[in-house]
A and B are shown apart, each in its own frame.
Chain A
Amino acid sequence: MTPLQNYLALSIALFAIGAWGVLSRRNVILVVMCIELMMNSINIALVAFSNYSPSPAPGRGEVFVFFIFALAAAEAAVGLAIAIALYRLRQRLSVDELDEMKG
């Protein structure tokens, strides 16, 4: 039997790797991919808590995960559309070249 803490440790590790990718990579598409990894780690934590916490009405955590799935899909679609629009505009996809909004 695996204790809850192991699942949470896995979730934290996956979140940390995703955050590392967001902070250290230059490519916009890769940043979107790493954000998806972070969302996956949050889903693991939700499903784990849903399974291990004593609750009068079980299953709420899993329902939450379904909503996060839908929102992650929407976020990926819009994010990648923005990346393609940027590529069309600049022919590059490096996040540190996108500084038009800088005052």
Chain B
Amino acid sequence: MDFSPIAFYTISVITLACAVGVVMFRELIYSALSMVACFMGVAAIYILLHAELVAAAQVLIYVGAISILVIFAIMLTRHPKGDFWLFFHRQSVWALPVIVIIATLLIALVAAAGFNSVDLGQNPSDEAIAELLFNDYAFPFELVSLVLLVAMVGAILLARKERR
């Protein structure tokens, strides 16, 4: 028996519930923890798609690094407590129906597009990914490392205390 549909639906429901939690929680730290759970769910989806290397990188980068960064940013700032409208714009009343309409249209589009829906298992092994990354895409790879360096310097420059 093939358990992958059950796994897919379970993980999807958990991931989407955690994503809604990110938006709806009023305590920012709850949102951050909900975001971590959502990232873990996405990593599980990658494993279902035979992309183990991407799943490992997702856990390392999103669950490990970006979540810690977000939690540090939350701890370094003070957040007021209050009623609903302190956290939500007035425009959120309009944003939700508009977003739902756009998402429905997109899903209808995907359903009508006639993509190949048979799992070909096209995602290659980790070895093949490494081959691609360091041969065909070596130059973009180096370029991305430069972008990361610039972003690091920029982040330090922005966040450090001004000295007169």
Contact = CB atoms under 8 A, between A and B. Distances in A.
A binds B: yes
Scoring A60, A61, A70, A83 by chain B CB atoms within 10 A of each residue's CB, the highest score goes to: A70
B42 A67 contact: no
Contacts, number: 256
Contacts of B100: 16
A52 B35 contact: no
A19 B94 CA distance: 13
Contacts of A26: 86-89
Ordered nearest first, which 8 A-B pairs have the shortest CB separation? A24-B92, A74-B151, A3-B117, A16-B103, A23-B95, A81-B158, A21-B23, A81-B155
Interface of A: 1-10, 12-21, 23-27, 29-30, 32-34, 36-37, 40, 43-44, 47-48, 50-55, 58-63, 65-67, 69-78, 80-85, 87-88, 91, 93, 96
Given A20-B92, A44-B42, A58-B122, 7 more contacts: A5-B115, A17-B19, A37-B35, A59-B128, A69-B58, A81-B158, A87-B76
26 contacts: A4-B117, A5-B110, A5-B115, A8-B115, A9-B107, A12-B106, A14-B16, A17-B23, A18-B19, A19-B102, A23-B95, A24-B96, A25-B88, A47-B54, A51-B51, A51-B119, A58-B122, A58-B124, A58-B128, A61-B123, A67-B144, A69-B61, A70-B144, A72-B66, A81-B154, A85-B159
